[in-house]
C-alpha cells in the first residue's frame, strides 16, 4: 500500500473512532455516578476492533 | 422549559412559605418583580438555581446560610425550594430540601400526572437534560453579571459560547480518549523482551500523569480567574452606584483605561526596540569594520583591481583570436600562449564582479544604518522611559484612589474595596500561575513527543509493542481531531452570534454601531466616526452585554432538538434578568424595555425603582403577565428611613415596613 493510502486509512480510522466515542459519551450523558472506568473500557473495545480491521 | 411556580420555605430572607406564580403566556411572558436593593432579588434568582443544581451564583454572600435567620432562631431545622415547570409538554416539580447538620440537601424531581407526583429515579440526570448546568448560568443571571461580559479583561465570553454550543460531551470525549491513550502507554512495558522500554515507558507515563494534573489545574485556575474577574467587575459596578464612592471609582476607571493604553504603548515600544536590535545592532557593532572595508574597496590604488585587473572574457578573446593586445601572435601551446592562458587563473568574471558590487552596496547600507541607529535608539529609549514613568504614575494614582476607598467612611464601601483588592491580587497571582503552567505544559509536550519517538524506535521490531503504540496513537489522534472540530464549530458559532448581536443592535441602538469579536473573544463596539473601538460607557457595556445574552439564548434555541454528531442540542429556559437597564440612558431604555420580552420565551424581570422611569413600565406593560412587589419587613424602628412606596395600577405599595414582628421579605402580588 502506498503512503497516501495508509494516511487515508488512518484518517478514516480516526473519524470512525471519534463517532464511536461520541456515541459512548451520549449513552452515558449526564450520568452523575463515576462511570469513567466503564467508558474507558468501551473506548478500548472500539479501538481494539478498529485496530483489528486495520491490521 | 417554562417555570410556572416557585415555592420557598424559610429560604434566606423569606420566612415561612412564599409562593411566586410566573407568567407563562406566549404574549404575556414577563413576570415583573419590583424590589429595592438588598431585599431579595439575588436570593430569588439563586433560589431557582439552587433548587435545580444545588449551587448558588458567585456573588451570593454567605452562601452556607440557607435557613432563614428568624426561622432558625425559632427552632426550624430546614429550608426548601420547589419549582414547578413544563418540559416537552409535561409538568414536573423539582424540590431541594436543606436539613441543618446534614451534608447534602435532598433533591427530587417528580412528574405531575392527574394531580399525583411520580418521582423520577435519576433527578440530577433529568434536570441536566432539561437544561445543562453549563448553559443554565447564562439564563439565571443578573444584569450586573451580564454587564461583566463586556468588561475589558473578562474571559467569560468564550466560555459562554462554548457552553451554549454544547461542547460538554465532546470535551468529555477528549478527556476520555487521552486517558485511554495513557492506559496504552502503560501496557507497552508489559511486552516481553522490551526491557529498555520499561524505563522510557515509566518516564512517559509519569510525564503524561503530570500533564493531566497541570492541564486540570490550568482549567481550574482559568475558571477561578474568570469568576474572580466577574465578581470584581460587579464590585466596581456597585461602587460606581454608591454615592461618594462613585466619583472615586469613575476616576479609577478612567485611570485604568489610561493604564491599559500605556501598557499597549509600552508593548509596542518594546517591540520597536527588539526590531531596532534586529535591524541596526549589526550595523552599529560592525561600524569600524564596515568603514575600513569600504575605504579599502574605494581606495584609489586598488580601484579597478578588485576583484582582478583582468577579466576572464577578455583573456578568452585574446586566446581565441590568437593575438595579444601588443599584436604578437599567440599560437596555441606556444610560450606566449601559455603565459596569457595562465592569466585565466586570476582573471575576474561577471559573477565575482557582481559579488564585489553587492558587498559594497551592503557595506554602504550598513554604514548608513549605523549612522542614524544611535539617534533612533535614543528616541525609542526616551519614549519607553517616558511611558514607563507614565505607567508608574498611573499605578500610583490608582493606588491612591483605592486607599481612599479603603478608608471610606462607610462600612459597605470599605468592605467592597477590601474584597476587590483581594480579588485583584488573586487574579494577578493566578494569572502568573497560569502563565507558568502554560509554559510547563508546552515544554512537557516536547518531552512527551521525544519519548514517544524513542519508544516507537525501540519497539519498531516488536510486533506486539508496536501494535499497542499504534492503538495509543489512534486514541490521541482522535482526541486531537475532536479538539480541532470543536474549534471549528466554535469559530462558526462566534460568527453567528456576532451577526445576531449586530442585528439586535441595529434595532435597539440609536447610533450606528457595529459589533465585533476579537480573536480572544473580547467584545468591541465600532462606529464609522470613531477610530478603533468606541470607548465603552456603563450604558454601552450594558447594551452590548444584553445583546450578547439575547444572541446566546437565540443561538441555543436555534439548536433546540438538533442532533449533531458531537455537539449537545440547545435548550430553552426562562431568562432571569436583574436590573438589566440600570445604566442605559433615556433613549436606550425604552427601546431595550421593548426588546427584553423578546429575548426569551419566558422572562423574569427584577427592577428597582431607579429603573422603572422613562417609559420603561409602559414599554413592558403589554408583555407583563404577573407582577409582584417585594416588601421588606423590619423589626427595628423607622427613624429617618424612607418607606420606599411605589404606585402601581393606581395603588400605593409601601415596600419598607418597620417595627414588625420579624425581619423578613414578603412577596406581594400586584396583578
Residues 6+ apart with CB under 8 A from B411: none
Would the CB atoms of A39 and B481 count as touching at under 8 Å? no
Q: How much is the pLDDT for B336?
A: 85
B106, B180: one domain:
no
The SS3 call for residue B624 is: strand
B236, B286: one domain:
no
Whether residue B325 is contained in a domain is answered as yes
B178, B95: one domain:
no
Least CB–CB distance from B474: residue in A13, A24, A29: A13
pTM of the model: 0.66
Give the closest residue to B566 by CA, choosing from A18, A16, A42, A30: A18
Tens of pLDDT, residue by residue over B496-553, are 999 999 988 887 776 778 888 877 777 888 877 777 777 666 667 777 878 888 888 8
B36, B73: one domain:
yes
B126, B152: one domain:
no
Q: How much is the pLDDT for B373?
A: 84
Residue of B54, B131, B135, B176 to mutate, testing the A interface (most A Cβ within 10 Å of its Cβ) = B176
Give the closest residue to B175 by CA, choosing from B232, B207, B215, B143: B215
| pLDDT-derived band at B639, boundaries 50, 70, 90 | confident
Least CB–CB distance from A32: residue in B124, B132, B481: B124
B461, B520: one domain:
yes
* Average pLDDT value for residue range B169-179: 92
* Average pLDDT value for residue range A22-50: 87
| pLDDT-derived band at A55, boundaries 50, 70, 90 | very low
Q: Residue B564: is its pLDDT beyond 80?
A: yes
Phi then psi for residue B14, to 5 deg, are: -90, 110
B450, B531: one domain:
yes
CATH number at residue B200: 1.10.287
- Regarding an ipTM greater than 0.85, the answer is yes
| pLDDT-derived band at B477, boundaries 50, 70, 90 | very high
Distance in Å from the first CA to the final CA of chain A: 13
Q: What percent of chain B has pLDDT over 90?
A: 31
Q: How much is the pLDDT for B614?
A: 61
Nearest chain A CA: its distance from B478 CA (Å): 5
B482, B515: one domain:
yes
Q: Residue A32: is its pLDDT beyond 70?
A: no
- For the ranges B378-387, B412-421, B516-525, B599-608, which has the lowest average pLDDT? B516-525
State whether residue A13 sits within 8 Å of chain B by CB: yes
B460, B508: one domain:
yes
Q: Which chain B residue has the Cα nearest residue A41?
A: B180
State whether residue A45 sits within 8 Å of chain B by CB: no
Would the CB atoms of B470 and A51 count as touching at under 8 Å? yes
The SS3 call for residue B588 is: helix
Q: Which chain B residue has the Cα nearest residue A53?
A: B471
Boundary of a domain, candidates B524, B539, B554:
B539
Q: What is the mean pLDDT of chain B?
A: 85
Whether residue B82 is contained in a domain is answered as yes
| pLDDT-derived band at B141, boundaries 50, 70, 90 | low
Q: Residue B348: is its pLDDT beyond 90?
A: no
| pLDDT-derived band at B149, boundaries 50, 70, 90 | low
Whether residue B453 is contained in a domain is answered as yes
Q: What percent of chain B has pLDDT over 70?
A: 92
Whether residue B661 is contained in a domain is answered as yes
Task: Give CA–CA dist A20/B108, Å, rounded.
Answer: 33
Least CB–CB distance from B474: residue in A24, A29, A51: A51
B184, B232: one domain:
yes
Whether residue B403 is contained in a domain is answered as no
Q: Residue B77: is its pLDDT beyond 70?
A: yes
Q: Which chain A residue has the Cα nearest residue B124?
A: A32
Task: Give CA–CA dist B156/B464, Å, rounded.
Answer: 47
Note down the domain range covering B632: 2-131+573-669
Residue with cell 593575438: B323
Whether residue B141 is contained in a domain is answered as no
State whether residue A14 sits within 8 Å of chain B by CB: yes
Would the CB atoms of B129 and A44 count as touching at under 8 Å? no
Cα of B495 vs its chain's centroid, Å:
16
| pLDDT-derived band at B17, boundaries 50, 70, 90 | very high
B469, B578: one domain:
no
Q: How much is the pLDDT for B308?
A: 67
CATH number at residue B90: 3.40.50.300
Residue B195 C-alpha cell reads as 526491557
Number of domains in chain B: 3
Nearest chain A CA: its distance from B168 CA (Å): 10
Whether residue B563 is contained in a domain is answered as no
B302, B203: one domain:
no
State whether residue A43 sits within 8 Å of chain B by CB: yes
Amino acid at each position: 500500500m502506498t503512503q497516501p493510502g495508509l494516511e487515508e486509512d488512518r484518517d478514516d480510522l480516526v473519524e470512525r473512532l471519534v463517532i464511536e466515542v461520541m456515541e459512548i459519551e451520549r449513552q452515558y450523558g449526564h450520568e452523575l455516578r463515576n462511570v469513567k472506568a466503564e467508558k474507558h473500557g468501551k473506548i478500548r473495545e472500539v479501538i481494539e476492533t478498529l485496530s483489528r480491521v486495520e491490521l | 422549559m417554562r417555570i410556572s411556580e416557585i415555592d420557598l420555605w424559610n429560604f434566606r430572607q423569606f420566612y415561612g412559605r412564599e409562593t411566586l406564580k410566573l407568567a407563562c403566556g406566549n404574549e404575556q411572558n414577563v413576570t415583573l418583580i419590583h424590589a429595592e436593593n438588598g431585599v431579595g432579588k439575588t436570593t430569588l434568582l439563586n433560589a431557582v438555581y439552587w433548587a435545580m443544581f444545588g449551587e448558588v451564583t458567585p456573588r451570593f454572600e454567605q452562601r452556607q446560610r440557607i435557613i432563614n435567620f428568624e426561622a432558625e432562631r425559632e427552632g426550624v431545622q430546614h429550608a426548601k425550594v420547589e419549582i414547578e415547570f413544563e418540559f416537552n409538554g409535561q409538568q414536573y416539580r423539582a424540590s431541594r430540601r436543606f436539613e441543618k447538620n446534614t451534608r447534602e440537601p435532598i433533591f427530587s424531581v417528580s412528574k405531575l400526572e392527574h394531580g399525583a407526583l411520580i418521582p423520577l429515579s435519576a433527578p440530577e440526570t433529568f434536570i441536566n437534560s432539561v437544561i445543562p448546568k453549563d448553559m443554565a448560568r447564562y439564563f439565571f443571571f443578573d444584569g450586573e453579571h451580564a454587564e461583566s461580559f463586556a468588561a475589558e479583561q473578562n474571559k467569560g465570553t468564550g466560555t459562554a459560547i462554548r457552553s451554549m454550543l454544547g461542547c460538554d460531551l465532546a470535551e468529555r470525549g477528549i478527556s476520555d480518549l487521552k486517558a485511554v491513550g495513557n492506559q496504552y502507554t502503560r501496557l507497552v512495558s508489559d511486552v516481553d523482551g522490551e526491557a529498555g522500554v520499561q524505563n522510557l515507558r515509566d518516564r512517559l507515563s509519569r510525564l503524561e500523569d503530570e500533564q493531566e494534573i497541570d492541564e486540570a489545574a490550568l482549567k481550574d485556575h482559568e475558571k477561578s480567574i474568570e469568576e474572580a474577574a466577574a465578581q470584581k467587575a460587579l464590585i466596581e459596578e456597585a461602587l460606581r452606584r454608591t454615592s461618594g464612592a462613585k466619583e472615586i471609582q469613575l476616576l479609577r476607571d478612567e485611570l485604568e483605561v489610561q493604564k491599559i493604553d500605556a501598557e499597549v504603548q509600552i508593548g509596542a515600544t518594546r517591540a520597536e526596540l527588539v526590531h531596532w536590535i534586529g535591524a541596526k545592532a549589526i550595523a552599529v557593532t560592525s561600524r569600524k569594520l564596515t568603514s575600513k572595508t569600504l575605504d579599502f574597496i574605494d581606495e584609489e590604488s586598488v580601484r579597478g583591481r578588485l576583484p582582478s585587473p583582468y577579466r576572464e572574457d577578455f583573456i578568452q578573446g585574446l586566446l581565441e583570436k590568437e593575438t595579444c593586445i601588443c599584436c604578437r601572435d599567440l599560437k596555441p601551446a606556444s610560450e606566449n600562449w601559455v603565459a596569457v592562458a595562465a592569466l585565466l587563473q586570476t582573471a575576474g568574471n561577471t559573477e565575482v564582479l557582481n559579488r564585489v558590487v553587492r558587498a559594497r552596496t551592503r557595506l554602504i547600507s550598513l554604514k548608513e544604518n549605523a549612522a542614524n541607529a544611535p539617534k533612533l535608539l535614543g528616541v525609542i529609549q526616551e519614549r519607553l522611559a517616558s511611558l514607563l514613568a507614565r505607567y508608574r504614575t498611573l499605578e500610583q494614582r490608582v493606588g491612591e484612589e483605592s486607599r481612599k476607598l479603603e478608608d471610606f467612611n462607610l462600612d459597605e464601601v470599605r468592605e467592597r474595596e477590601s474584597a476587590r483588592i483581594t480579588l485583584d491580587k488573586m487574579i494577578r497571582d493566578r494569572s502568573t500561575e497560569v502563565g507558568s503552567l502554560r509554559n510547563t505544559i508546552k515544554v512537557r509536550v516536547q518531552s512527551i513527543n521525544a519519548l514517544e519517538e524513542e519508544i516507537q524506535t525501540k519497539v519498531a521490531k516488536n510486533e506486539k509493542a508496536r501494535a499497542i503504540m499504534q492503538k495509543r496513537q489512534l486514541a490521541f489522534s482522535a482526541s486531537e481531531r475532536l479538539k480541532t472540530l470543536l474549534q471549528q464549530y466554535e469559530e462558526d458559532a462566534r460568527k453567528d452570534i456576532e451577526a445576531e448581536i449586530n442585528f439586535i443592535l441595529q434595532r435597539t441602538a440609536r447610533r450606528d454601531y457595529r459589533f465585533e469579536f476579537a480573536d480572544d473573544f473580547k467584545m468591541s463596539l465600532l462606529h464609522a466616526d470613531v477610530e478603533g473601538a468606541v470607548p465603552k460607557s456603563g450604558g454601552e457595556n450594558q447594551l452590548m452585554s444584553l445583546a450578547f445574552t439575547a444572541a446566546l439564548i437565540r443561538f441555543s434555541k436555534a439548536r433546540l432538538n438538533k442532533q449533531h454528531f458531537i455537539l449537545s442540542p440547545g435548550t430553552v429556559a426562562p431568562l432571569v434578568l436583574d436590573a438589566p437597564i440600570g445604566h442605559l440612558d433615556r433613549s436606550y431604555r425604552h427601546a431595550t424595555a421593548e426588546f427584553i420580552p423578546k429575548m426569551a420565551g419566558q422572562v423574569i424581570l427584577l427592577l428597582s425603582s431607579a429603573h422603572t422611569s422613562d417609559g420603561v413600565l409602559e414599554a413592558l406593560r403589554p408583555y407583563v403577565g404577573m407582577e409582584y412587589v417585594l416588601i421588606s419587613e423590619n423589626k427595628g424602628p423607622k427613624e429617618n428611613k424612607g418607606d420606599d412606596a411605589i404606585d402601581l395600577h393606581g395603588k400605593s405599595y409601601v415596600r419598607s415596613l418597620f417595627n414588625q414582628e420579624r425581619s423578613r421579605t414578603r412577596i406581594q402580588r400586584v396583578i
